Amino acid sequence: MSKATLAAIACTVVVLVAPPARAYMCPVVIKQAEELIARAERGKTTRHAAARLEDAVKHGGEAGAHHENATPNKDHDGASRKVWTVLGLAQEALNLQEP
């Protein structure tokens, strides 16, 4: 087989395998988000950090509920997207904290 054929096969495998594998990462990413939120809550929060943290906690609960009720992979992808948003909000809250 030529290198181009092997590369095409490899790309096809990645495209077909990656979404289902990512869908079952919900619990891992949810746990990471919970840990990051807890770390942000322990710090000195400013008014802006507190607002981001409040949003992160609210969306984190929604992501957990979405994951619990998910049946097909598409639903798990939705929960993963929500929890990635939570991670971003929690990280932003950490960045906005007072030293």
pLDDT, tens only, 17-71? 545 555 567 788 888 888 988 998 898 888 888 998 898 989 888 888 877 877 7
C-alpha 19: how far from chain center: 14
pLDDT at 2: 64
13: phi then psi, degrees, rounded to nearest 5: -60, -45
Q: What are phi and psi of 24, to 5 degrees?
A: -90, 10
Read off the DSSP letter of residue 43: S
* Mean pLDDT within 10-23: 51
- Contact in structure between 73 and 19 (CB atoms under 8 Å): yes
Reported confidence tier of residue 83, pLDDT bands at 50, 70, 90:
confident
